[in-house]
Chains A and B, each alone.
Chain A
Amino acid sequence: MMFYRLLSIVQRQRTNPRWQNWSSARSSASAAEAHSITLPTQTQVVICGGGVMGASVAYHLSKMGWKDVVLLEQGRLAAGSTRFCAGILSTARHLTIEQKMADYSNKLYHQLEQETGIQTGYIRTGSICLAQTQDRLISLKRINSRLNVIGIPSEIISPKKVAELHPLLNVHDLVGAMHVPEDAVVSSADVALALASAASQNGVQIYDRTTVLHVMVKKGQVTGVETDKGQIECQYFVNCAGQWAYELGLSNEEPVSIPLHACEHFYLLTRPLETPLPSNTPTIMDSDGRIYIRNWQGGILSGGFEKNPKPLFTEGKNQLEIQNLQEDWDHFEPLLSSLLRRMPELETLEIMKLVNCPETFTPDMRCIMGESPAVQGYFVLAGMNSAGLSFGGGAGKFLAEWMVHGYPSENVWELDLKRFGALQSSRTFLRHRVMEVMPLICDLKVPRWDFQTGRQLRTSPLYDRLDAQGARWMEKHGFERPKYFVPPDKDLLALEQSKTFYKPDWFDIVESEVKCCKEAVCVIDMSSFTKFEITSTGDQALEILQYLFSNDLDVPVGHIVHTGMLNEGGGYENDCSIARLNKRSFFMISPTDQQVHCWAWLKKHMPKDSNLVLEDVTWKYTALNLIGPRAVDVLSELSYAPMTPDHFPSLFCKEMSVGYANGIRVMSMTHTGEPGFMLYIPIEYALHVYNEVMSVGQKYGIRNAGYYALRSLRIEKFFAFWGQDLNTLTTPLECGRESRVKLDKGMDFIGRDALLQQRQNGVYKRFTMFILDDHDTDLDLWPWWGEPIYRNGQYVGKTTSSAYSYSLERHVCLGFVHNFSEDTGEEQVVTADFINRGEYEIDIAGHRFQAKAKLYPIASLFTHKRRKDDMEMSDLHGK
């Protein structure tokens, strides 16, 4: 975690006259003129924000050859959260992409002093993450496994070892810890200044005391910025305005939603100890105690993330107020108690100051980067969830790559601005959500955790009905989706107690839902899926779709095609099912969180002046998924139409009547590999159709089911899911979907060249299914995702998703297998033979479980038959 910068900067500001003329004393000529000269009238890129983020983007852009860059800062460089940052660089992160960004930052800052000649205060102290509970230790072990495989040294150590590493720590309540020896502390303001200085040497022009008023946009493209000192024309704008990024985004005529919100954050500075702490004393992360502690000028600096954060600037105030934020000792009391418990000897240490500095948080605790879906050339890098210093270098690099090459070198979908839409931009939502997010930084991160605030925003018309039947809900892109249905006679644990890395309490509930899907019929409300309709007057719709999608869409009316929407590199931008409604009209179903991204992609590639009509019809339809062998009986009874495979083959779409309701789009697919139908129902009919289905279905044993059942079903059948398993860097060939790519469909499509080349050269990673062998579901830790995969003892990749298969009675993990050269570590071609000839292990929190690798789904799962002698009386009961 990241933190707060020492007052040394503040003090220097007062005492050192150099500070006022930072530029003349420290930097090159172009920046030195910042105060006096007028702004240029034209440039390629304008970066707004002179904190560590803005400086890092400028630094990396200039390194990559984009030198026509102007950086504007409303106050002084490195004066916002950057100035107050505690200066801890920690690579112990939960997401691999975050680990990589922090690792890169660490390496960058390490050599920055040498590169620029500016002292950054970089000291490699190492950090120790403490565990007071076994669950915390599991969490650390998971991080540890992942750090090791990307080459960051770290180890799990005993409390005794902790005491050796840090003399002041009370370790008797610890169960273990993780030591990351290469983590560092650094002065973040100096890092920002060094980056800015290097950028400015490379030609970037830096102007402080210049406020961006708004960004000028023409035809959905950035054309310039309006500042308090005049206009600058530009093609790219980068919003690195930190906590003001939200307001700045809204100030455009065409607003850019950047959902983030600031909270007050406190940390304590003390005078030096009698025997001052050595400057290489490791940094302590005591997440169970909600605090971090680092050495600071012989004393300590300690802050934390309290349970009851204080959000601020909800109404959007100006920066002047930052200076006036009050110290709040009563608010800090729990953290102080926690500190004294951890380091009892500090009792007699004298306080220097309690610093209050706002930190910015996002709705899902991940930072925000990327290009606005609405305005081309408008890039954002903000919302660091108090890890700004740790991510600064890496995030700046990725964003610069994104701008220069069109895409970053790693998959950053988890951080992409387009995972959010305008719906996350309500001030009330943000205020409430960040109050939950900030404590979460220290909370235990367990599988299947759902946010509790900002809920019930988008719901299906059946919400109340399902809720009354015991539905438990999860949220995706603001949409409530049922996880599973708790039977009336069953009690589940309270929320806090249900946190576990082991077998969850809903195991039996989901089992019965899965069983019902396989033997009878279940209904799952899947209304959250993103649904678009594309129509044209002529053949334009077909033409554009043929160009955007890899499969052949020139199919007879009524057919459904599974296809990927690929980028130039052949990677999946989206994975969807498209039904041809008529010759000129297509219905497209994509994952829920694709609503913004897919829309932006389509808009970007559609010819501007055609008579194509693209409509987001997500809200118009309620989607019910009827899964199971008896779905066909239910539907034919309700429609008086034969639904058997002869009349209604698989992957087919028909408008028909269900009950009294006409015009229901019935599709013979279930997203799970089980037999059944998706019903797309105009919302006003939703309740009627649901009621009819439930009442007719009763005699076929119908029941409600939720997403957990769906997940178990799809994973055991090796169905990959975009956003989880597939991303912009994975191609259809890498996940065995050659059949969904029609390289010879008679016309070019995006990514075709890359795929052709890949077909010739072979793939460098392969999507594989693993079935855990010696794993005890009741007693062992469950896999989640992100677990390292070992082949013959060598690390070959990570899992992307996992689920318990009730049919196989085993855990199934999906993931990518690479073939790293033993000598050079370089990626080599992965063949089926390579996969098949390996012995595999999956590393769950340091424990390796044997696994069988499969490249193709297990056929027997598709033809489920129950043996006669398995039948029992309870099969006669209604569900």
Chain B
Amino acid sequence: MGRFCCRCCCPRGLWMLSAPCCDDRRMCVCPGPRRIGIPVRSSSLPLFSDAMPAPTQLFFPLIRNCELSRVYGTACYCYHKHLCCSSPYVPQGRLRYTPHPAYATFCRPKENWWQYTQGRRYASTPQKFYLTPPQVNSILKANEYSFKVPEFDGKNVSSVLGFDSNQLPANAPIEDRRSAATCLQTRGMLLGVFDGHAGCACSQAVSERLFYYIAVSLLPYETLLEIENAVESGRALLPILQWHKHPNDYFSKEASKLYFNSLRTYWQELIDLNTGESSDIDVKEALINAFKRLDNDISLEAQVGDPNSFLNYLVLRVAFSGATACVAHVDGVDLHVANTGDSRAMLGVQEEDGSWSAVTLSNDHNAQNERELERLKLEHPKNEAKSVVKQDRLLGLLMPFRAFGDVKFKWSIDLQKRVIESGPDQLNENEYTKFIPPNYYTPPYLTAEPEVTYHRLRPQDKFLVLATDGLWETMHRQDVVRIVGEYLTGMHHQQPIAVGGYKVTLGQMHGLLTERRTKMSSVFEDQNAATHLIRHAVGNNEFGTVDHERLSKMLSLPEELARMYRDDITIIVVQFNSHVVGAYQNQE
């Protein structure tokens, strides 16, 4: 989430300071990192002159693209019309993203630029361009992934039927990550979404490492010992996780050894700490330990460094960027959600009358959460009460109040300086890493410790949606649950028709059925619940139905602009097997 904004001259950071009213995240049209605003040392007047070249820079690739293909040119045109002029095609009032007053100032240079380029370079009028439905689908479906828990001989004993996941980038490259895996040495399945900021290094590392830490935390002593002995004697290791990955979900090959060593140290400590009494492992505790331990390892690896310069730079990038995590562990009817940051887990519950309701299983760790504000104030001296959260951001900068990485908010100033100085040049030249947050007196200000929620699954709990804030800021949770619920149950959410004793003619019945089918037909466009949800999140009009024109426009945005309209969206929809859940219930 949020491009690492020091790459360009950062008009977004600037603007953030000059237009502090942009607290409505949905209204935030700034293409910059919404999580982290970077103050610029100059005052407001030079600011403006600073800002002037930025749009040109921002749009420079566009000019080239315009020449290369009409796609970008016209897409840009759409965007332009849509936002800056009162588009005749799209009445202003209908837009969720109404141009912000502050934005008008910001985008004026672009308008000039447009006229300029148009006058100078283009003789023809730009044509209106929309992606066709198949093109839209191919974009939406590029990252979709489905997993069905294998059904053996007609018997399915897992409480999870399977899951659908998908992500739609707004940043380039995307900073969100997702993971899903089945625990092989214990029971249960792990699913998680990770929202990165200031780059994707941290979210990438967390997405490939966190589940191992959790799985290890859950392992009984004997299994840990067995694994350690196998490592020691060079035997084949027990597999711990069965990953369910989309081909685009990669793992870092280079760091794999380093990561393994850190993980091994962790289980060695777990072995050493074993008291000998075989107590039941508490999932909640295991989750908390795993989160904290991984964050600690990320921090340590950055401090220690690595002789390999590539790895050295990697561990530093991981530590200096950040990521939130929202992870679910499902084992039979026991559902644990561990959350750090502002991604969210939402349970879809089907009431007896067939309607859907949403049960939130996580708390956002941000300024909208009173308890978090309270916690932060308590953790720091009274005199920092005003500076610790400013403009709804941690130290005025960071939107989530808990996160992995982000050592800028965790390390002492000394440590930060020492690491940066001894670090590679790239780090030294980086404005963002060098910059120390203002009012930085009593670190750490940030923690990766998750809040763990437990829920015992009931037959009416049909599915769980894990998603990054990119989804939640565009859609209300109730809508999310309703859309997924209706999608997953297909026809069945409609009460089945029974003729009973009534007088019904074939014609009446036919009319009724046709109506019901039309209602459902839009659902079947997607084979993946997460894709379906993204389609709604991006394409919904004010009536709550997907507007293809709108969807097409949103997806036609060039990467440089996409970030202004939406955030990366990552969604996992886990579907539960009500029969199995019901059977568990009956056993007791």
Give B503's nearest chain A residue, CB to CB: A350
From residue 337 to 354 of chain A, which have CB atoms closer than 8 A to chain B? 337, 339-340, 346-354
Residues on A with C-beta less than 8 A from B277 are none
Give A331's nearest chain B residue, CB to CB: B491
Decide: B496 and A351 in contact? CB cutoff 8 A: no
Residues on A with C-beta less than 8 A from B503 are 350
Contact of A349 among B491, B499, B506 (CB under 8 A): B506
Known: A329-B496, A330-B497, A354-B499. A336 touches B510 (CB 8 A): yes
Decide: B513 and A427 in contact? CB cutoff 8 A: no
Residues on B with C-beta less than 8 A from A349 are 505-506
Contact of A350 among B153, B491, B504 (CB under 8 A): B504
Contact of A330 among B153, B496, B506, B507 (CB under 8 A): B496
Residues on A with C-beta less than 8 A from B491 are 330
Q: Could you mark each residue 513-529 of chain B with 1 if its beta carbon is under 8 Å from any beta carbon of chain A, else 0?
A: 11011000000000000
Residues on B with C-beta less than 8 A from A337 are 510, 514
**How many Å from the CB of A838 to the closest CB on chain B?**
56
**Residue A326, interface by CB 8 Å:** yes
Total A-B Cβ pairs within 8 A: 69
Residues on A with C-beta less than 8 A from B422 are none
Contact of B505 among A315, A332, A347, A427 (CB under 8 A): A347
Residues on A with C-beta less than 8 A from B231 are none
Residues on B with C-beta less than 8 A from A350 are 503-506
Decide: A351 and B513 in contact? CB cutoff 8 A: no
**Residue B91, interface by CB 8 Å:** no
Give B498's nearest chain A residue, CB to CB: A327
From residue 140 to 195 of chain B, which have CB atoms closer than 8 A to chain A? 151, 153-155
Give A333's nearest chain B residue, CB to CB: B513
Known: A330-B497, A333-B514. A314 touches B154 (CB 8 A): yes
Complex CA–CA separation, A431 to B504 (angstroms): 35
Which of A270, A330, A428: most chain B Cβ within 10 A? A330
**How many Å from the CB of B491 to the closest CB on chain A?**
5
**How many Å from the CB of A339 to the closest CB on chain B?**
7
Which of B154, B497, B506, B507: most chain A Cβ within 10 A? B506
Contact of B154 among A328, A330, A340, A431 (CB under 8 A): A431
Complex CA–CA separation, A332 to B516 (angstroms): 12
Give A328's nearest chain B residue, CB to CB: B496
Residues on A with C-beta less than 8 A from B509 are 329, 336, 351
Complex CA–CA separation, A352 to B491 (angstroms): 23
Complex CA–CA separation, A314 to B491 (angstroms): 22
Contact of A347 among B151, B153, B499, B507 (CB under 8 A): B507
Decide: B153 and A428 in contact? CB cutoff 8 A: yes
Residues on A with C-beta less than 8 A from B510 are 333, 336-337, 340, 347
From residue 515 to 547 of chain B, which have CB atoms closer than 8 A to chain A? 516-517
From residue 386 to 445 of chain A, which have CB atoms closer than 8 A to chain B? 427-428, 431
From residue 352 to 391 of chain A, which have CB atoms closer than 8 A to chain B? 352-354
From residue 690 to 715 of chain A, which have CB atoms closer than 8 A to chain B? none
Decide: A330 and B504 in contact? CB cutoff 8 A: no
Residues on A with C-beta less than 8 A from B369 are none
**Residue B494, interface by CB 8 Å:** yes
Residues on A with C-beta less than 8 A from B497 are 327, 329-330
Contact of A326 among B153, B496, B516 (CB under 8 A): B496
Residues on B with C-beta less than 8 A from A353 are 499
Complex CA–CA separation, A315 to B491 (angstroms): 24
Which of B151, B499, B514: most chain A Cβ within 10 A? B499
Which of A332, A346, A351: most chain B Cβ within 10 A? A351
**How many Å from the CB of A454 to the closest CB on chain B?**
15
**How many Å from the CB of A313 to the closest CB on chain B?**
9
Residues on B with C-beta less than 8 A from A340 are 506-507, 510
Complex CA–CA separation, A268 to B516 (angstroms): 19
From residue 446 to 503 of chain B, which have CB atoms closer than 8 A to chain A? 491, 494, 496-499, 503
Give A343's nearest chain B residue, CB to CB: B506
**How many Å from the CB of B515 to the closest CB on chain A?**
10
Complex CA–CA separation, A349 to B503 (angstroms): 10
Decide: B499 and A336 in contact? CB cutoff 8 A: no
Residues on A with C-beta less than 8 A from B504 are 350-351
Decide: A347 and B506 in contact? CB cutoff 8 A: yes
Residues on A with C-beta less than 8 A from B155 are 315
Which of A340, A347, A428: most chain B Cβ within 10 A? A347
Complex CA–CA separation, A444 to B35 (angstroms): 61
Residues on B with C-beta less than 8 A from A270 are 506
**How many Å from the CB of B68 to the closest CB on chain A?**
31
**How many Å from the CB of A597 to the closest CB on chain B?**
27
**How many Å from the CB of B231 to the closest CB on chain A?**
34
**How many Å from the CB of A642 to the closest CB on chain B?**
51
Decide: B499 and A351 in contact? CB cutoff 8 A: yes
Residues on A with C-beta less than 8 A from B496 are 326-330
Decide: A336 and B506 in contact? CB cutoff 8 A: yes
Give A352's nearest chain B residue, CB to CB: B499
**How many Å from the CB of B360 to the closest CB on chain A?**
33
Contact of B506 among A315, A351, A427, A428 (CB under 8 A): A351
Complex CA–CA separation, A789 to B56 (angstroms): 83
Complex CA–CA separation, A131 to B496 (angstroms): 33
Decide: B154 and A427 in contact? CB cutoff 8 A: yes
Decide: B513 and A329 in contact? CB cutoff 8 A: yes
Residues on A with C-beta less than 8 A from B499 are 327, 329, 351-354
Give A332's nearest chain B residue, CB to CB: B513
From residue 311 to 329 of chain A, which have CB atoms closer than 8 A to chain B? 314-315, 326-329
**How many Å from the CB of B502 to the closest CB on chain A?**
9
Complex CA–CA separation, A333 to B504 (angstroms): 15
Residues on A with C-beta less than 8 A from B498 are 327, 329
Residues on A with C-beta less than 8 A from B154 are 314-315, 427-428, 431
Complex CA–CA separation, A347 to B507 (angstroms): 4
**How many Å from the CB of A664 to the closest CB on chain B?**
36
From residue 102 to 126 of chain B, which have CB atoms closer than 8 A to chain A? none
**How many Å from the CB of A292 to the closest CB on chain B?**
16
Give A353's nearest chain B residue, CB to CB: B499
Decide: A351 and B505 in contact? CB cutoff 8 A: yes
Residues on A with C-beta less than 8 A from B494 are 330
Complex CA–CA separation, A32 to B503 (angstroms): 41
Complex CA–CA separation, A431 to B505 (angstroms): 35
Give A315's nearest chain B residue, CB to CB: B154
Give B516's nearest chain A residue, CB to CB: A330
Complex CA–CA separation, A350 to B497 (angstroms): 15
Residues on B with C-beta less than 8 A from A329 are 496-499, 509, 513
Complex CA–CA separation, A353 to B506 (angstroms): 11
Give B155's nearest chain A residue, CB to CB: A315
Residues on B with C-beta less than 8 A from A347 are 505-507, 510
Give A349's nearest chain B residue, CB to CB: B506
**How many Å from the CB of B272 to the closest CB on chain A?**
47
Decide: A333 and B505 in contact? CB cutoff 8 A: no
**How many Å from the CB of A208 to the closest CB on chain B?**
30
Residues on A with C-beta less than 8 A from B513 are 329-330, 332-333, 336
Give A431's nearest chain B residue, CB to CB: B154
Give B494's nearest chain A residue, CB to CB: A330
Residues on A with C-beta less than 8 A from B151 are 428
Could you name 22 residue pairs across A and B whose Cβ atoms are closer than 8 Å? A315-B154, A315-B155, A327-B497, A327-B499, A328-B496, A329-B499, A329-B509, A330-B491, A330-B497, A330-B513, A333-B510, A333-B517, A336-B509, A337-B510, A340-B506, A347-B510, A348-B507, A350-B503, A427-B153, A428-B151, A428-B153, A428-B154
Kindly list the 9 A-B residue pairs having the minimum CB-CB distance in the complex, ordered from nearest. Answer: A347-B507, A333-B513, A329-B497, A314-B154, A315-B154, A330-B491, A351-B504, A346-B506, A348-B505
On A, residues with C-beta under 8 Å from B are 268, 270, 314-315, 326-330, 332-333, 336-337, 339-340, 346-354, 427-428, 431
Apart from A315-B155, A327-B498, A329-B497, list 16 A-B contacts with CB within 8 A. Answer: A327-B496, A327-B497, A328-B496, A329-B498, A329-B499, A329-B509, A329-B513, A330-B491, A330-B513, A330-B516, A333-B516, A333-B517, A346-B507, A347-B507, A349-B506, A427-B153
On B, residues with C-beta under 8 Å from A are 151, 153-155, 491, 494, 496-499, 503-507, 509-510, 513-514, 516-517
